[in-house]
Structure 1
């Protein structure tokens, strides 16, 4: 009686342990973790500086989660990409709208206006405006800025009965700082020079003003008012051209006494 020999399956050789491959795998995993940490840190910095992009990244993450959750339903790759693209486009539009939205304008109280409509006029009676010691009602013009000095001269004109007084000084004013109508209806054009005592108004200043006050601004009376003085050539040119010069002494006298209004000299006393 013969016995059939059972064929046995040859034993498969197990995979040999490779130290080099294992070390390489751990190194790749560590590099991936480091890269992921750096990416997360960079994304956190971007989100902190620009919160709007946090919305974009959140929408992308939501789209990825939805795509992964619906993978069991065997959605096609094209459909997943289309929906993710739609979510990203919507998030980008929202972010751009937020970036383009104008910042809310700060609420500011309306600036006080004087009779000239160019802001608060600086007179000795106004709060915070110092006056000349020993001269009641006269402001300390040296304490004013050039713009405030123009407003103070306009206030004097209004005080003495001038109408349609406007402060027009600034870039492109062509020499006119204050304009208005005298009580007698004469057109006044005034140039204001808030200079120090050591800086006198020269003939060049008068020549530039004389070239525009009558021809461009159509002045009946042209005045140059300064907190300083005029040089001799400047006074000679002003006398030749019919420009009235008001130096520091004349300004203080005008400020203290309305009867000393300087445009009366340029109109032959018609407004007196």
Structure 2
């Protein structure tokens, strides 16, 4: 699957989950919006997709760029970043501070298997992925 195919796949998952007005808009000049639409409750989402090899990671720089455009340029109520690999610890921490939803390769498997997009929106992403740390209050 190429980058466009990955974006179409993510858009199809959104439609399956009852999202409306789903559009694949990725390409040159997209300002970080690969898929846009509305959740079943009416909130606008903007998704950035990164199809990387599983051994790669998405760092905080990519998330900083996306964060700078998702709400301001695209009017996102819910910014979502979907990757075919994992996010670094600093990326997850940045996303948690800025209320970005992250779906990594592991969560993508759950989404593909039927877990709806809305189930991922409130996860504690600062503790997700393969670099989990217990919160100091939970030791």
167, 187, 190: which one pairs with 2:24? 167
- Cα distance in 2 for partners of 1:267, 1:253 equals 15
Unmatched tracts of structure 2, length 5 or more: 124-139
Q: Which has the higher contact order (CA 8 A, sep 6+)?
A: 2
Q: Which has the higher strand share?
A: 2
1:251 aligns with 2:70: no
Distance 1:217 1:232 in 2: 26
Written as runs of structure 1 = structure 2, the 5 A alignment for 1:183-262 is 183-257=40-114, 260-262=115-117
Distance in 1, Cα, partners of 2:95 & 2:122: 15
Cα shift at 1:197: 1.4
| Structure 1 partner of 2:34 | 177
* Alpha-carbon contact 2:83-2:104 (below 8 Å) kept: yes
Q: Distance in 2 between matches of 1:214 and 1:261?
A: 22
* Corresponding position: 1:266 with 2:93: no
Count how many residue pairs are aligned between Structure 1 and Structure 2. Answer: 123
- The answer (yes or no) to whether the contact 2:26–2:33 under 8 Å persists in 1 is yes
Distance 2:119 2:21 in 1: 18
How far apart are 1:157 and its partner, in Å?
A: 0.6
Deviations 1:153-179 (A, max 9, x none): 000011111110000000110001000
- Give the structure with the higher percent helix: 1
Alignment of 1:1-272 (within 5 A): 144-257=1-114, 260-266=115-121
Question: Which secondary structure does the structure 2 equivalent of 1:211 belong to?
Answer: helix
Question: In structure 1, how many angstroms separate the alpha carbons of the residues matched to 2:38 and 2:122?
Answer: 12
SS in 2 for 1:225: strand
CA distance in 1, matches of 2:116, 2:81: 13
Unmatched segments (≥5 aa) in structure 1: 1-143
TM-score by length of 1: 0.44
TM-score of the superposed pair, with normalisation by structure 2: 0.84
Largest Rg, 1 or 2:
1
Tell me if the contact between 2:14 and 2:117 (Cα under 8 Å) persists in the aligned partners: no
